[in-house]
Structure 1
């Protein structure tokens, strides 16, 4: 039996790889969502529905991407200010945590179906900072150079 088209084989391979990527992304997003719900339960945060949590997470990412620009600019300016190593790392961590706190706090103000305490916002900001610095392989190299 002779093959009629290699294009069909490529299409099937593309569909299989695309489906695998989508499955992996779905698993990551679901585990992130349920981990976030677990964090909210531990912190005693009250929410009306899962849609409120989804909106809250979406707004955190939207405002977080905006405030991340300001954070990177300030860290860049501090890097060029020739601060000593310890002061620079501490200041950069404070700036990152502050802008993350700001984005979480704004998201909390905008979503009426969720009530987050200041302690939970602060701990969530520190947790996001720790996750970002742990996943960023060049965190210490950029901060100390």
Structure 2
């Protein structure tokens, strides 16, 4: 028995709108964290960008392209570490794969955008930083 069966159409629409607003808020919150994090790192590294909107477009592009690339990098990580013993070896492989996928996304977004130009040194620093943060937060979430 479906809980939506006893609801009228107004209640169903209110539920759909409420869930949609919640999802939009959640995605906005995650993109906001990425935005302020990347803006802070860019500020520390001296990266210049034309406008805040170009930075926002960079972050949104990085986030959504990163989701697509991460699907493949997770599969590569699982297949690569299938028969490897030892936590340190697995961790080194994980950092390498995370770094490579983040650098690939940063490089791709940077090449398509003319309003932000990153040096290779900055791309590497940001890719390493994001890779390490992703690993730390994933490990913390797995332990809870």
- Coarse TM-score class (shorter-chain normalised): 0.7 to 0.9
Instruction: State whether structure 2 residue 43 is matched by structure 1 residue 41.
Output: yes
CA spacing shift, 1:102–1:29, aligned 2, 3 Å: closer
Instruction: Show the counterpart of 1:56.
Output: 58
CA spacing shift, 1:79–1:27, aligned 2, 3 Å: closer
CA spacing shift, 1:112–1:93, aligned 2, 3 Å: same
Kept in 2: contact 1:100–1:128 (CA 8 A): yes
1:71 to 61, 70, 73: 73
Higher CA-based Rg? 1
Aligned mates of 1:107, 1:62 — CA distance in 2: 11
Which structure 1 segments of 5+ residues have no match? 1-14
1:120 to 119, 122, 138: 122
1:135 to 125, 130, 137: 137
Aligned mates of 1:34, 1:115 — CA distance in 2: 18
Residues 24-45 of structure 1, C-alpha deviations (whole Å, 9 max, x = no match): 8766654542332221111111
Greater relative contact order, per chain length (Cα 8 Å cut-off, separation 6+): 1
Q: TM-score, normalised by structure 1?
A: 0.72
CA spacing shift, 1:94–1:20, aligned 2, 3 Å: closer
Q: TM-score, normalised by structure 2?
A: 0.72
Structure 1 stretch displaced more, 119-128 or 108-117:
119-128
Instruction: State whether structure 2 residue 91 is matched by structure 1 residue 89.
Output: yes
CA spacing shift, 1:99–1:21, aligned 2, 3 Å: closer
Structure 1 stretch displaced more, 85-94 or 97-106:
85-94
Look up the SS of the partner of 1:80 in the other structure: coil
Number of corresponding residues: 136
CA spacing shift, 1:20–1:108, aligned 2, 3 Å: closer
Aligned mates of 1:90, 1:20 — CA distance in 2: 37
RMSD: 3.0
